[in-house]
């Protein structure tokens, strides 16, 4: 079962959880064996967005910083990957383009986070500043349709979107490259997600994670205990934003295409809905809930995009009013209480 965090998660002390985790992982690994190539690529697409949700869970759920800037860093890394992949010649250089693009997103988070945190911006104003940065980037990219807006041979193309970059490749023996698409990309994304998830569990369970939760609960008391709260918050902001950048770079390599629409206001609001509905204070709930929401959203979009957007708004409203800790966490708690009640009602053996 999920654990709502008043403190860091505990790794390895819940045997049923790890058994269930292993079963789910085995099913995910076996999925390409029974599904067609289109479905496998589609699931890889949904898994790519989960990195951004995990980053927001880290920033908001653990650090108490509500950021509307996840798609800002998503866009920086996404466009960065496109520009670099084209200018570096594609092929085996795309892996280097991916690493540099994510690094660019982390550097942007370092600069923006420094001015926010050291500038004393707090509370809802952090959301306003990060949303403003996101909208400025989306507006700027939308005005780059002319031929003068290019970086080397890479044209930004405004609302028509940047295209022409190679998908992710891995250099193999000699001059040969292995292009990651379909099943191979699915397994790479799944492996990355597994490593990020386990790494985050270790991270939030460390001394650093304890301090972050303490700062979230009472920043002034943490300062009185001798902790530089600004440094801790900045590191957390950079890590969470870099995960959004990883989503952006993988998204661009997956579709070999990116537009300003993936950065603007509707897109910026989506991670908030995913994380709030799932349970922002638990990375396990965020990972599972975000994937299920994306699956539901995509299924509804086939029939009506407007209906899917209305559902997203309704989910956020219901979460705020009925399950402020998150729907996934609330369901988990209810199931735990029910199992305990059933166990208590069983007659003891003579």
pLDDT of residue 311: 75
pLDDT reading at 50 higher than 50: yes
87-146 per-position pLDDT tens digit:
998 788 899 999 999 999 999 999 999 999 998 888 889 999 999 999 999 999 999 998
Residue in 337, 330, 335 with CA at minimum distance from that of residue 315 = 330
Please state the pTM of the whole predicted model.
0.88
Q: What is the DSSP letter of 349?
A: P
Q: pLDDT class for 339, splitting at 50, 70, 90? A: low
Average the pLDDT over 303-314 and give the result: 73
Distances (CA, A) of 300 to 38, 311, 312: 18, 9, 11
pLDDT of residue 336: 65
Burial class (CB in 10 A: 0-12, 13-18, 19+), 208: middle
pLDDT of residue 232: 95
Least confident of 55-59, 231-235, 301-305: 301-305
Residue in 138, 143, 147 with CA at minimum distance from that of residue 158 = 143
Query: Phi first, then psi: what are they for 272, rounded to 5°?
Result: -60, -45
As a whole number of angstroms, the longest Cα–Cα distance in the chain is 85
**Quick one: CA dihedral 61, 67, 72, 77, positive or negative?**
negative
217-230 per-position pLDDT tens digit:
999 999 999 999 99
**Quick one: CA dihedral 90, 92, 94, 99, positive or negative?**
negative
pLDDT of residue 340: 66
Q: What is the dihedral of CA 149, 150, 155, 156, to 10 degrees?
A: -50
- Whole-number Å distance between alpha carbons of 349 and 343: 13
Average the pLDDT over 294-313 and give the result: 77
Q: What is the mean pLDDT of the chain?
A: 86
């Amino acid at each position: 079962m999920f654990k709502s965090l008043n403190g860091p998660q505990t790794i390895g002390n819940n045997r049923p959880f790890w058994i269930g985790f292993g079963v789910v992982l085995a099913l995910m690994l076996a999925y390409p064996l029974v599904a067609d190539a289109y479905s496998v690529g589609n699931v890889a697409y949904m898994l790519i967005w989960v990195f951004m949700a995990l980053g927001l869970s880290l920033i908001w759920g653990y650090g108490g910083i509500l950021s509307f800037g996840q798609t800002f860093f998503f866009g920086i890394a996404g466009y960065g990957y496109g520009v670099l992949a084209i200018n570096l010649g594609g092929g085996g250089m795309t892996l280097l383009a991916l690493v540099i693009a994510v690094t660019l997103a982390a550097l942007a988070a370092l600069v923006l986070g420094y001015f926010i945190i050291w500038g004393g911006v707090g509370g809802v104003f952090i959301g306003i500043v990060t949303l403003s940065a996101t909208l400025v980037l989306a507006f700027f990219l939308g005005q780059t349709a002319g031929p003068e807006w290019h970086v080397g041979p890479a044209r930004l193309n405004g609302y028509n979107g940047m295209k022409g970059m190679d998908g992710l490749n891995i250099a193999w023996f000699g001059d040969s490259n292995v292009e990651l698409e379909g099943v191979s990309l699915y397994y790479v994304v799944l492996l990355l997600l597994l490593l990020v998830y386990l790494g985050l569990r270790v991270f939030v369970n460390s001394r650093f994670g304890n301090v972050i939760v303490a700062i979230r609960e009472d920043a002034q008391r943490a300062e009185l205990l001798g902790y530089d709260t600004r440094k801790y918050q900045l590191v957390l902001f950079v890590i969470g934003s870099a995960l959004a950048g990883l989503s952006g770079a993988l998204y661009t390599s997956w579709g070999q295409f990116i537009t300003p629409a993936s950065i603007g206001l509707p897109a910026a609001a989506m991670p908030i809905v995913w994380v709030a509905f799932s349970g922002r204070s638990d990375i396990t709930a965020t990972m599972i809930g975000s994937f299920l929401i994306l699956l539901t959203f995509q299924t509804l979009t086939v029939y009506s995009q407007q209906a899917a957007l209305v559902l997203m708004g309704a989910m956020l409203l219901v979460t705020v009013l009925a399950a402020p800790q998150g729907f996934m966490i609330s369901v988990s708690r209810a199931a735990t209480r029910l199992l305990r009640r059933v166990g208590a009602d069983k007659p003891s053996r003579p």
